[in-house]
Structures are given as C-alpha cells and as structure tokens.
Amino acid sequence: MLPDIDQLTLAEQVAQMVVVRTSGFLFDHQIQYPDWEPPAAILQHWVQDLGVGGVILLGASAGELAIRIQQLQNWAKIPMFVAADIEEGVGQRFSGATWFPPPMALSVIFRKDQTLGLHYAEKMGAITATESLAVGINWVLAPVVDVNNNPDNPVINVRAFGETVEEVSLLASAFIRGAKAYPVLTTAKHFPGHGDTAVDSHLDLPVIPHSASRLWEVELPPFAAAIASGVDTIMSAHLLIPCWDSELPATLSEKILTGQVRQKLGFDGLIATDALVMGAIAKHYGASVAPVMAVEAGADILVMPIDPETAIRAVCEAVESGRIMRSRIRESVQRIWQAKRKIFPLQVNTLDLRDLSHHISQNDSTTTVTEILQHSQAVYCPVLPSENLIDPVTLNYLSAPNLRNLIVVDDLLKCDFLNFCAPAITLPKQMGYMTQITDSQTLSTADLEANHLTLLQIFIRGNPFRGSSRLNQACEHLFKKLLINRKLQALVVYGSPYAMQQFIPLAPANLNTVFSYGQMPAAQDIALRRLFSM
C-alpha cells in the first residue's frame, strides 16, 4: 500500500513531511478561517498533485467530518495522516461526539484518589481513540504534557493534566495507554514544556529562562514518561530556551530537537513542529526559511507551513544545494512510513456512515464525562450544602422580572458551548430567570442599578490567541458592583480555576458558588442542577 521510498521523487518525499490545515466542512462558503484553510480547489491540488502527507482538521459535526475525511483520502495517492487537536475528546472540535472536561479536571480527582484519576485518564484516551477512528481521524494531537506551574499561563492553563510533575506524568501516560490499544497516533506536546510561560506562542515568542537542571527536574520528566509509555510523536514548542540555545526557538534548533529529543531522551518516533503559522515563528522567519530550518533541526513533520508549496520547494532546494543531506529526508520519510503502517495496517478503511451512531457518544462515554464533571466540580458552602444552595421553592415567591440570569463569555462569536437550548439558559429559565448574555470585551455595568436578583455565570479559561486567562477589569467591576448593590444571588464559574481563585477573596462567605472545569452543556447541566438542588 505504501510505495517504496526510493520510487518517490525528492519533492514527493518532502511533501510527505508536510501537514496542512483544512476545514472539516465540505463547502468553501463554510470555511471559518480563510487565512489558514484553503478552498477546495487548492486543497485538492495540495493533496492530489503535491502529495502532502497529512491534514489537520477543525470544524463541522462528527458526521460531516467523516464524509470530509473520506473525500480527502480518496484524493490522496498515498494514505494520509488525519490529525486533530482533540485534547478534550472528538466532541471538543466536532459536534455530536464526546466532549470531555479539560485535562486539568483529572488532576483534582487524582489528588483525592490516584487510582480513580488514572482510570478516567485511560478511559479518556480509549474513548478519544475509538471515536477518532469512527470518523477517520488517525492522529490524535494529545496529550498535553506541559506542567502548568504558572497561573498566568494564557494558552496552556486547563489544557494541562495538572501543576506538578507527578500528576502530569502519570495522567498523560494513562491517556496514552488508553489510546494505544487502537491504531491511532498519540502526541506529547509541547516540547520541552510550555507550562511556565505568560506569553502565548500563537502571538509571540515566549522565553523559558530556567537552567538545564531545572528543565530536567520539572519540564522534561512528563516527556520521558510519555516516551516510556509508547507515545508516537513529540511536538515541539515555539519557545526560546537560552540554556540550550540562546538564538533559535526549540522548533528550529538542532541542539534541542536532535540534541535533546533524539540524543538525550532517546526518542525514535516522529518529531512534529507546532504550527509554523503561529506568531512566534511567522513573525520572525519567512515562509521558505522556517521549514528548512525545522528540517535541519530534526523535525520529521512540518505542521501548517505558511505556504505548503513554497515550503516543499525550499526544502528541495536546500537538499539540491547540499545544505540538507538527501539521507536526512529519507530518515524522516522512513519514520513517517513506520507510523503510517501502524494506522494503515492493510488498507484505508471505507467508512460506513450508518455505523457512526454505534461508536459516537455511547452510554459509557457520556457516563464517564458525567462522573469526571461531578468528581471535579467544586461547591463553596459555608455551612451544609442543602442550606447554601438556592431553594427552588423560594423562587416561586419572587416575580420573574426580578430574576436575571447574566451570562458573561470571553467572546460571543467564538462560543461553541452556548445556544438557545444550552442548560445555562434553559435551566434558569425554568426557574423564572430572564437571560442576558454579554462578552467580557463589551461588558457594561450601566444597567446594574435595575432591581434584578442576579445569577452570574462566567465562562473563562485559557485558550490559544486569547492572550490571558485572568479576569479583566470590567468583569471584576461587574462582580463588585453586584455585591455592593446586594443583587448577586449566586455565582457559577466554568473553566479556569485561576479565575475562580480571583473571585474567592472578593466573595462573601454566604454566596452560593459553583465551579466547573468544563464549559460544555453537560458541565452547565451538572453545575446548575447542583445549584438549584434539581
């Protein structure tokens, strides 16, 4: 099924090292990120004519995605890697599939009961792998093995399995074990560790100022554990690590990718770059420069180069000029072939769309999500829980216009977890609340003088491109204003425990408060039913 490497031209070999971004939707007018996702004609040219080695997908429902992936594999002469950033399950990116709470929720369970925490991490890996295969994804870009030991980290945050070396190493390894039972690739990211940064590498280049001994003590053990557990890929981080290389970011540094990953850690699987279109690289290196430097450094996979055709041509020219040895390209393609033989043991499977419902969001997966949410949820009670939570009977004595459900999100235009039937809206409505939704950028306190008893729900967490995972001043002012006016009835925070910790010193001891790591509808349902004793 895979051709002999020597039968491929140099350009075809280099193309196998390139993974491009594309929309999971079928039609051009549905493309959500046109700067990164090409229209169908260009995508087909990259896959069919250039022979790129893989795609990374975002957007669409699980059912649509299955059709899209089948289309892409039909275009390809050589079976492709199909990757997705599904750190919280397939449903995180593709609606209809299972959406887990963020990995940090498992650290809360792990601290109370290690065996249970590891059990859930392993199940999370297995369910993610099973549902990935059902739709055609064969490369899971997870787990995150960064140790999130910086509360101001804007991009890793709850994506990490925790704040300590032990919990991250053990939980990430359990996730890998769960996924390894299935023919999918797993990925430990972001080497050598993006946890102790306050800068998002999607926007600019963070610096890790620590000594080599500190890196080996804190940042690197989870990667070593992932390798010992059989992880297939290590993804580089766009970080400057002066103790190893004072000039080049890890993604472009031979001292780091070859010297540390290959030689010191002894990893012989695939080394993939993080997306080369990210600001940390794209701002400082050109479309033809970064791919060549990444290959020189030791990368096998070039993820999302600014211009795939330019990247392939630039690497070929570097080989032809003698800057890169031809054998270096062959080594990477051999690793790619080894990985592809794992996920395509015989042939590319033709998906039976009628069978999807038997593999997506089954009872076992939804039960697992519910249990993780329940075990990791925090309810702040000054006295007995039954005395602290809102009594539905009491609400019957209040007129509906006086009850307000105020929902604050990071960005209304990028809000996958809210719609007209989301529990954050429907459950308070059943209790007589009127809903008002705003985002943290346009938040106004002008109408807070009105006589509304307020249920305040805040959705906030670290996410790529957000730049911060902390409360902004407008959100903090809103909270204080409601307290001063004695109109804050209850608070529910979904997402970042670090944001929740900012509320705690401000909140009175008798405030009804619930925190959930999850933001998805299942998390909303569990949190609000606990609040209302439903």
Closest to 499 in 3D by CA, of 466, 465, 468? 468
Q: Which of 85, 245, 274, 300 is catalytic?
A: 274
- Helix ranges, 273-321 (H): 279-282, 289-297, 308-320
The two counts, helices (H) then strands (E), for the chain are 20, 14
Per-residue burial over 86-118, b if 16 or more Cβ lie within 10 Å, else e, is bbbbbbbbbbbbbbbbbbbbbbbbbeeeeeebb
- Direct distance between the N- and C-terminal alpha carbons of the chain, in angstroms, rounded to an integer: 56
How many whole angstroms separate alpha carbon 62 and alpha carbon 135? 7
H or E stretch including 453? strand 453-460
Q: How, if at all, do strands 512-516 and 378-380 pair? A: antiparallel
Beta strands in 338-487 (DSSP E): 378-380, 403-409, 434-439, 453-460
Torsion of CA 515, 521, 522, 525, to 10 degrees: 70
Q: How many whole angstroms from its chain centre is CA 414? A: 15
Q: Which of 202, 210, 359, 452 is catalytic?
A: 202
Return the SS3 of 197: coil
How many whole angstroms separate alpha carbon 366 and alpha carbon 370? 6
The set of residues, in sequence order, having a beta carbon less than 8 Å from that of 442 and lying 6+ positions away, is none
How many whole angstroms separate alpha carbon 193 and alpha carbon 156? 10
Phi, psi dihedral angles at 347 (to 5 degrees):
-155, 165
How many whole angstroms separate alpha carbon 438 and alpha carbon 442? 7
How many whole angstroms separate alpha carbon 106 and alpha carbon 495? 13
Q: How, if at all, do strands 139-140 and 233-236 pair? A: unpaired
How many whole angstroms separate alpha carbon 308 and alpha carbon 317? 14
How many whole angstroms separate alpha carbon 350 and alpha carbon 306? 31
The answer to whether 235 and 141 have CB atoms below 8 angstroms apart is yes
Q: How many whole angstroms from its chain centre is CA 401? A: 39
How many whole angstroms separate alpha carbon 303 and alpha carbon 58? 14
- The answer to whether 6 is a known catalytic residue is no
Inter-helix orientation angle 104-112/114-135, to 10°:
150
- The answer to whether 202 is a known catalytic residue is yes
How many whole angstroms separate alpha carbon 130 and alpha carbon 338? 21
Closest to 454 in 3D by CA, of 419, 480, 422? 480
Show which residues are catalytic. 202, 274
